[in-house]
Amino acid sequence: METLMSILVGTLFAIGTYLILTKSLLRIILGTSIIGHSVNLLIITMGGLKKGGPPLLGITDLTFADSLPQALLLTAIVINFATTALFLVLSYRAYQVLGTDDTEQLRGNEDE
């Protein structure tokens, strides 16, 4: 299962990198979001599947499940959502003001 998840994470990283290298702002934002999702999958995969009880007092299990990967993942999801929303608002405002989402035209390097 870890091999399949590693292949999926690598594929998502490749797709995200391809989208970031394009000229459209919307594709760049989607690329950063896809890379964020692949990082989330990477964190869960690296955490591994551990069988055990919850880490609570009074429960006498010998093994406990590690809750740190889930806490990191929850934080990463919130941060990814916030940055994606900020990027979308900024690109929408730039499109309203300048009338384009092409990064070459935003820089002023128009090819004629």
Domains of the chain in start order, with CATH, are 2-51+62-107 (1.10.287.3510)
pLDDT of amino acid 105: 85
Alpha helices in 1-112 (DSSP H): 2-20, 25-47, 68-98, 103-107
The predicted-structure confidence for 49-103, as pLDDT tens digits, reads as follows 677 777 777 777 677 777 788 888 999 999 999 999 999 999 999 899 988 888 8
- Give every CB contact of residue 72 below 8 A, 6+ residues apart in sequence: 43
pLDDT confidence bin for 110, thresholds 50/70/90 = low
For residues 21-37, give the mean pLDDT.
93
- In angstroms, the CA 61 to CA 107 distance is 61
pTM as predicted:
0.80
Residue 48 pLDDT more than 80? no
> Dihedral of the CA atoms 40, 45, 46, 50 (nearest 10)?
120
Angle (CA) 56-75-39 rounded to 5° is: 110
